Amino acid sequence: MSPLQREALKLDPVPVSKPWGGKKLLPYLLPGAESCLPLGELWLVSTVGDHCRHSRINSGVHDGLLLSDLIKASPEKILGPSWGGEDADSEFPLLFKFLDANTELSVQVHPDDAFSKCRGLGSTGKEESWIILDANPEAFVRVGFSANWDMEKLSEAATKGECVEEALNKVPVKRGDILHIPPRTVHSIGAGIVLAEIQQPSDVTFRIHDGNNVGLDGNPRELHLEMALQLDPPEQDSTDVIPVNPESQGGWQLRIAASPYQVFELKGPWEGQLDIPEDRSSILCLLSGSAESRGERLHEGSVRLLLPGKGEFHLKSASDSWAILCIPT
């Protein structure tokens, strides 16, 4: 008798145009997606915001349904008993996406759970982590205040149109680096970076400084200084780069253990059953290389939402593979 197989959903990526985006995410879409340029983000697992940004299922008996509609109809089937009770809404507990920062993003900050709930901004704040997929030789991000800077001084400089480059710590990044960004941490993504982002299901961003950037309509974008000033930085206002995981380690390695999620990473050849919880969904993404599962070839950018249950999910990765597994906690 063949073992019980864990149900896995294939989802269509949702393109999101951004003024700072580029063209590097186009290969993950069908031909004709040039109308989305400049392409800043691909939302790979999403029930956030308007329905046009919700993931649509592209496999099996649920083919064509929005993930949010399926959750609403059968919350325990998708979310598991941990989230799928009588009071469950149609929201998946994580948002997973790719970003192409062709030019530098704004200096910004995200709220935490308490602030979001108090202000009616949603049920969660926005805690996030970045996995650097590609980076120019001089690429960097800015994270946390540098010496002698705080939110009040930054806000004042932004209001006066002054240079704020020295306000945040400059952190060089390269392919394979991982950064965890707690809520209330001021940050900015520099130009020439493509990354995968796992985060809480919130799209709330408070822009503090936008440089010379303008929106897709050609007009300056709104700043949110009043809201940003109400967010105290976390007690440890710094984020270190989690070093590249040596391929020689082999097997799945826990890379991020945050309060909203865990992130495991795999590099190189491996074969076996994924060690995933039975009481919740998990997100599997092949960041590069190739792999096989159930006779299906997984390629770079392949994402599967592995549903709760007792079944197995077998994976065989090639020597050039790089994968992550994101599990809500």
- What's the N-to-C CA distance of the chain in angstroms? 33
CA 231 to CA 210: how far, in whole Å? Answer: 19
Active site residue 175: no
CA 173 to CA 223: how far, in whole Å? Answer: 27
Select from 10, 13, 26, 12 the least CA-distant residue to 194.
Answer: 26
What residues contact residue 21 under an 8 Å CB cut-off, 6+ apart? 37, 38, 39, 40, 41, 100, 101, 102
What residues contact residue 221 under an 8 Å CB cut-off, 6+ apart? 19, 106, 207, 210, 213, 214, 215
Size of the chain in residues = 329
CA distances for 232 relative to 25, 86, 158, 223, 224, angstroms: 35, 35, 18, 18, 15
Q: What are phi and psi of 77, to 5 degrees?
A: -65, -40
Contact 123, 42 (CB under 8 A): no
Kindly provide the residue ranges of all beta strands, DSSP E only, lying in 139-258, ordered along the sequence.
140-145, 168-172, 178-181, 187-189, 193-199, 206-209, 253-257
From the candidates 207, 255, 280, 304, give the one annotated as an active-site residue: 207
State the residue for tokens 């390695």: 253
Contact 96, 45 (CB under 8 A): yes
Catalytic positions: 207
